[in-house]
Amino acid sequence: MNRQELEKIKQKALEEHIPIIMDDTLEVVDKILTEIKPRRILEIGTAVGYSAICFSEYLQQGGKIDTIERDEERIAEAKENIKKVEVEDKINIFSGDAVEILPTLNEKYDVVFIDAAKGKYPFFLKEALRMINENGVILADNILYKGYVMSDYNKHKQRTAVRNLREYIKEVTENPNIETEILEVGDGLAVSRINKS
Ligand code: SAH
Ligand code: MG
């Protein structure tokens, strides 16, 4: 992995206000990936590939990341970035809306990283639960959405997003087969450990 290139990719994304994973969130995810040593990761929301590139370091030998993005320009840039750091063999991008693509997938994943349209988190969770391995982990970024989710703030124009993020938290907390922690890192990260069996 070319670290210098990765740093350039990060700086460019920050300059362009692309909402890449925040450093403290990445630190937590790094620890989880170190512990799990995943073979397969599913990411929903590629943007320019920054997080996928970071995660690719933790894959088992021969492991792979599937990542979904609907913005054509970002897909093109993600492909260039993945090439620059030489991890083409580890990352596969699905182009299109995750709402349409997810139901067509029939893989098993050790880790699912949800980081796309907040209004769709409950749907993404349903699809993640269908494909997650026993003892896998489902991560949801931006789960606290600037603090709106835990406040009584309901008038915001993003209230549909807030309602759906709350619904996501409710589902992962109430499901007896899932153990969830909501971490106040970055914009909030939900860490849900699955114990199906
Ligand atoms: N995971 C990236 C950041 C993703 S930003 C990183 O940390 O580096 C969120 C991305 O999700 C945006 O690029 C947006 O275009 C994409 N997105 C949002 N809703 C989507 C959907 N329904 N299907 C596919 N991509 C979506
Ligand atoms: Mg995010």
Alpha helices of 58-197 — where are they, by DSSP H?
72-84, 98-101, 121-131, 159-174
Which of 71, 94, 143 gets mutated to test ligand 1 (max ligand atoms within 8 A of its CB)? 71
Q: What is the pLDDT of residues 132-160, one digit of tens each?
A: 999 999 999 999 988 888 887 666 667 88
In this structure, which amino acid lies at residue 150? Answer: M
Q: Whose CA is nearest to atom 13 of ligand 1?
A: 47
As for how many domains the chain has, the answer is 1
Give residue 197's pLDDT: 58
Give residue 196's pLDDT: 67
We report the CATH number of the domain holding residue 106 as 3.40.50.150
Two tokens, residue 89? 């063999």
Q: Containing domain of residue 131, as a range?
A: 3-194
Ligand 1: residues within 6 Å at CB?
19-21, 45, 47, 50-51, 68-71, 74, 97-99, 115-117, 120
Q: Where are the beta strands (DSSP E) in the chain?
A: 40-44, 64-69, 91-95, 109-114, 132-141, 178-183, 189-194
- Phi and psi at 92, nearest 5°, equal -120, 125
pTM: 0.97
Give residue 155's pLDDT: 65
Low-confidence ranges of the chain (pLDDT < 50): none
Give residue 181's pLDDT: 97
CA of 116 to the centre of ligand 1 (A): 4
